Amino acid sequence: MTIEEIEKRVNHIRAIAGDDEAAHSYEDRLHLEFIKYVASLTEQPPELAAKAKLVASTEAIGFSRWCA
């Protein structure tokens, strides 16, 4: 999972923030896939903290988080 891939997904979430359900679903999926990515690493790359901060930045995107 590269910084560019994460940025693309965060930007997508920002772009669909008007659709709470869809944005929440994409946010949850990004978080889970990032956790799985980190869990699969045998060594921690130096940019891991930057990637984690970028993934966590979706919390600042304004939309209601709810599940149907």
Residue 53 lies in a domain: yes
Number of domains into which the chain is organized: 1
Residue 65 lies in a domain: no
Give the DSSP letter string of 43-59.
S--TTHHHHHHHHHGGG
Residue 31 lies in a domain: yes
Residue 66 lies in a domain: no
What is the reported pLDDT for 15?
Answer: 97
Backbone angles phi, psi at 27, to 5 degrees: -65, -50
- The answer to pTM > 0.85 is no
Q: Containing domain of residue 7, as a range? A: 3-60
Residue 55 lies in a domain: yes
More confident residue, 30 or 67: 30
